[in-house]
Amino acid sequence: MSRTMLIAGNWKMNGLAVDGVALAEAVAAGSSATLCDLLVCPPATLISAVGNAMSGSRVALGAQDCHPEESGAHTGDISAEMLVDLGCDFVIVGHSERRADHGESDEAVYAKAQAAHRAGLIAVICVGETEAERDGGQAEAVVACQIGGSLPENAKAANTVIAYEPVWAIGSGRTPTVEDVQAMHAHMRATVSASHGTYFADQVRLLYGGSVKPGNASELMGLTDVDGALVGGASLVAGDFLAIAGHCS
């Protein structure tokens, strides 16, 4: 079993063209010094410009969401095929901010992940419990249920990444203990082993996300079942993003 670590930047709704291109250029310039896989997911408005700014580098390009259908009367939406057309290789689906802000259910996330696979994209499927769910001892059950509902039946380890992002750790500066992160990731691997088999479970990359910074990346990225990070705030500073990647072998 060997899983190449992946550090993914989720820029969320941040950046105009000038800043976004400068950030992408800085990440691309520093990427040759890193050993892990790198991914940047800018807002849809910047995908094309960021792709151009990073072209020829080893940083992959991704989006933050896609619509389940290929085309049609869905004003404002963007399909997975359109993202491929822009040069994307990855798309994040089911981020907790979309589950909360847009009422996305596990069924919706499943359909988006399927759309990503149909188009040839790697889906980064996000799961994670709320603070109340963790306090109530429900964290593992909630995450298993989200995986069960969001992970397409025919998903392959080659076209799927699963990100564990406890909702209460996102943008808060708080993280679970390393023991809790490792326990959750081991539980996730056991969950997908039961549904998708041991080969999938051994190969699929499980990212941790939620207040990952250069200062805590070393201990988090050193955990047995953590195969990288989904980074929000710190991905907006090239030096911080690259420093996080520097903790991955």
CA 82 to the chain's CA centroid: 19
Contacts of 142 (CB under 8 A, 6+ apart): 129, 130, 133
Q: How far is the CB of 96 from ligand PGA (least distance, A)?
A: 7
CA distance 222 to 206: 13
**Three-state helix/strand/coil letters over 178-237:** HHHHHHHHHHHHHHHHHHHCHHHHHHCEEEEECCCCHHHHHHHHCCCCCCEEEECHHHHC
Q: Which of 171, 197, 215, 239 binds ligand PGA (CB under 6 A)?
A: 171
Q: Pattern 215-234, binding to ligand PGA, x per CB under 6 A?
A: ---------------xxxxx
| 165 binds ligand PGA per the rule CB under 6 A | yes
Check: CB of residue 165 under 8 Å from CB of residue 175. no
Q: Which is nearer to ligand PGA, 99 or 187 (CB)?
A: 99
Q: Which is nearer to ligand PGA, 78 or 231 (CB)?
A: 231
CA distance 162 to 131: 20
Catalytic residue among 104, 117, 165, 187: 165
97 belongs to the catalytic site: no
Q: Pattern 81-120, binding to ligand PGA, x per CB under 6 A?
A: ----------------------------------------
| 212 binds ligand PGA per the rule CB under 6 A | yes
Q: How far is the CB of 38 from ligand PGA (least distance, A)?
A: 15
165 belongs to the catalytic site: yes
Q: Which of 5, 6, 7, 10 binds ligand PGA (CB under 6 A)?
A: 10
Q: Which of 109, 121, 195 is nearest to 159 (CA)?
A: 121
Find residue 79's DSSP bridge partners.
Answer: 67
Q: Which residue has the tokens 């807002």?
A: 43
Contacts of 188 (CB under 8 A, 6+ apart): 127, 143, 144, 147, 162, 164, 206, 225
Q: Pattern 16-55, binding to ligand PGA, x per CB under 6 A?
A: ----------------------------------------
Catalytic residue numbers read: 95, 165
Q: Which residues bind ligand PGA (CB under 6 A)?
A: 10, 165, 170-171, 209-212, 230-234
